[in-house]
Amino acid sequence: MPVYLDNAATSFPKPPGVCEAVCDFMQNIGCNAGRGAYRQALRADRLLYDTRRALARLFNIAAAGRIVFTANVTEALNLALKGWLRPGDHVITSSLEHNAVWRCLKRLEKERHISIGVVNCNQQGVLEPAAVRRLINSRTRLIVLTHASNVTGTLLPIAEISEIAAAAGVPLLLDAAQTAGVYPIDVQALPVAMLAFTGHKGLMGPQGTGGLYIRDDIELLPLKEGGTGGHSRAEEMPADLPDRFEAGTPNLPGIAGLKAAVEFLLRQGIVSVRQQEMSLWRRARQILCSLPGVTVYGPEDPEKCVGVLSFNIAGVAPEKAAHWLDMHYGIMLRSGLHCAPLAHRSIGTLETGTLRIGLGFFNTEADMDILADGLRELLLRKHQLA
C-alpha cells in the first residue's frame, strides 16, 4: 500500500464528493459564469456565490464578496503585494517565507525600491513578536507573514503580531497556505487585512484554486485586466469586488471541487481535523526521535505547529532517502528546499535541504507503522546509500 506523506505540497486523496463535483460541473453545467442570462449560466454564477459563502463561513469573513478567486496562493500573494506596495514603502516579513512571498518582495525591491525588514527566526523556526514591533518605522506599509512554515511546521504567533500591527496601523497579510483547512482561522478575531490561501493543500480541493480575502479598507490595484462579464463599456476594471480582481474566465470545475471540499471540512469541523492530524504528528515525531542519527527540526510542542515535520538522516542525502523509501516501502515524502531557502538558512539546512513529512486528513496509524518500518530498514542499509 502506498503511503502518501506529501500533503504539505498538495493534499491527496481528496474527500468524497470532490472529484464528483468537478465531473458534475463539466458534464452538467459546463458554461461560463457572470456572462449569460440563461438558466444554466445562472447555475455557474450560483456555484461561485456558494463557494465564496462556504469559504467565508470557514474563515469567519463577514462579506463573502471580499473573497477573490485566484489560481493558487502564489497568485493571491502576487495580487496583494503588487497591488498594495508603492515605491519607497517598507515591508516586514520573516525568515520562514516561501518563495511565493520572497521572490515577489525581491522583485518589488528592484522595481519599486521598497525596503524589506526580515525578522529572523531561531532554529526551531520560532519568531519573537517583539522583533516585529522593533522593525516598524514610519514607512512600514505592510507586514506579510506565513501563518505556518512549510519547512518546520512552526506556527507564527499571529495573534500577538496582529495586535502589534493594529496598534501601529499597519495592515497584516497572512499566507495561509499551510493552515487553511487544518488550523482554525478567524479573520475578524485576529484581525488580518488580507488572507491568501490555496485550494489544493489543507482545503483539499483541486489544484488551480485559491483566493485572497481583502478587508474593505484595503484598496489594491488589479494584477490583471480583462473581461469580467459586466460593466463592459468601461475601459478600466470595475471598482466593485470581486469583479475588480477576477478578469478572465475562472476555473469553474476547480471551484466546484473546492466547494465540495470546503463543505466537507465544515461538516468535519476544523478542530477535529486538527486533533486527528496532530495525533499522527505526535506519533511521527516519536518515531523520528527514537531513531539514531536522525535530526528533527521544528517545535516539540504540537500546539506550536501544524502537521509538517522536517528531518535529516546523518550520512544520507535527503533525495536518496526519499527515493529509497518510495522504491522499497511506497512512502512518498518530499526532499529538498521546499521552495523556502530562507527557512533552511534559519534552521541550518540550506546546503542539504531536508526530508519532509506532510500529514493529511487521510493518513492513518497504519501509515505511521509503515513509516517506522521503512526508516528502520533504511538506517540498517544506510551504508548502501551513502
Ligand X SMILES: Cc1ncc(COP(=O)(O)O)c(C=O)c1O
Indicate whether 209 belongs to the interface with ligand X (CB under 6 A): no
Nearest-angstrom CA–CA distance, 78 and 355: 28
State how far the Cα of 178 lies from the Cα of 101, in Å rounded to an integer. Answer: 14
List 51, 152, 154, 198, residue binding ligand X (CB under 6 A): 198
Q: Rule CB under 6 A: is residue 152 a binding residue for ligand X?
A: no
Apex 103 CA angle, 102 and 105, nearest 5: 65
* Span interacting with ligand X, options 41-49, 133-141, 175-183, 216-224, rule CB under 6 A: 175-183
178 in contact with ligand X (CB under 6 A): yes
Interface size with ligand X, residues (CB under 6 A): 13
Is residue 72 a contact residue for ligand X (CB under 6 A)? yes
Q: Does 74 bind ligand X (CB under 6 A)?
A: yes
Closest approach of Cβ 146 to ligand X, in Å? 4
Binding of ligand X at residue 146 (CB under 6 A)? yes
Do 284 and 357 contact (CB within 8 A), yes or no? yes
Check binding of 94 to ligand X (CB under 6 A): no
Sign of CA dihedral 35, 36, 37, 39: negative
Give the HSE-up count for residue 278: Cα atoms under 13 Å, Cβ half-sphere: 19
Measured from the CB atom, the residue of 175 and 243 that comes closer to ligand X is: 175
Query: What is the smallest separation between the CB atom of 97 and ligand X, expressed in angstroms?
Result: 7
Q: Does 100 bind ligand X (CB under 6 A)?
A: yes
Contact residue for ligand X among 7, 51, 78, 150 (CB under 6 A): 150
Residues 8-47 within binding reach of ligand X (CB under 6 A):
9
Q: Least Å distance between CB 204 and ligand X?
A: 13
Burial (CB < 10 A; 0-12, 13-18, 19+), residue 116, is middle
Q: Residue 77 Cβ, how far from ligand X at the closest point, in Å?
A: 7
Tell me which residues in 213-272 interact with ligand X (CB under 6 A).
none
Shortest spacing between CB 335 and ligand X, in angstroms: 14
Following DSSP, what letter does each residue of 320-348 receive, concatenated?
A: HHHHHHHHHH-EE-EEE-TT-HHHHHHHT
Among 21, 29, 73, 142, binds ligand X (CB under 6 A): 73
**Residues numbered 312-341 forming contacts with ligand X, rule: CB under 6 A:** 339
DSSP secondary structure string for all residues of 121-163: P-TT----HHHHHHH--TTEEEEEEESB-TTT-BBP-HHHHHH
Q: What is the rounded distance in angstroms from the CA atom of residue 321 to the CA atom of residue 301?
A: 26
Positions that interact with ligand X (CB under 6 A): 9, 72-74, 98, 100, 146, 150, 175, 177-178, 198, 339
